[in-house]
Amino acid sequence: MDLHQAAVRRQGEADGDGSLLAAPERQGGIAFVLFQAGEQLAGIIEEFERNAITGEDVRVLKAIRSVLGHLSEKEMGQVVSLLQQARESADATGARRHEADAYTGQKVIIAQLKQLLIEYQRQQALYELSIHFR
C-alpha cells in the first residue's frame, strides 16, 4: 500500500467521527504520511548523490524534502497541539479559539503544499519542453 492509499484509508476511517475528539489523531496521521514521504524523498536524493547525479531536478527534490520536513515537524505539530488544547479546553470560547487557530494553521500548510505542487509541475513542464526541443 502506498502513502496515498494509506492516507485515504486513514481519512476514511476518521470520517466516521468528525468530532473534535478525533481531530488530533487525524492530523497526526497526515503529519506521519508527510514525514514518510519526506523520508522516501531523502532516500531518492541520497541515491542521486551516490551516483553523482546533480542538476535542477535534484535541487527541486531537496527543496520539496525541506518543505515536507518543516511541515511534518513544526507546523503540523502546532496544529495537533492546538487541536488537543481545543479538545481539553474547559470553556467553549477557548476551545473555539484553539479550533480557529488550528484551522488557520491547516490553511497555511495547504497553501504551502499547493505552492510546492505548482513549483514541481512548473519544473516538470520545463523539463518536458527541453526534451521536446532537443
* Number of domains, the chain: 1
pTM: 0.61
**What integer pLDDT is reported at residue 58 of this predicted model?**
82
Consecutive 10-residue averages of pLDDT for the chain (134 residues): 45 48 71 82 89 82 81 78 84 87 86 84 80 79
CA gap 98, 83 in Å, rounded: 7
**What integer pLDDT is reported at residue 74 of this predicted model?**
77
Task: DSSP for 77-99, please give it.
Answer: HHHHHHHHHHHH-SSHHHHHHHH
Segments forming the whole domain that contains residue 20: 3-132
Residue 38: name the closest of 62, 59, 9, 2 by CA.
62
Between the CA of residue 127 and those of 46, 48, 109, 124, what are the distances in Å?
21, 17, 27, 5
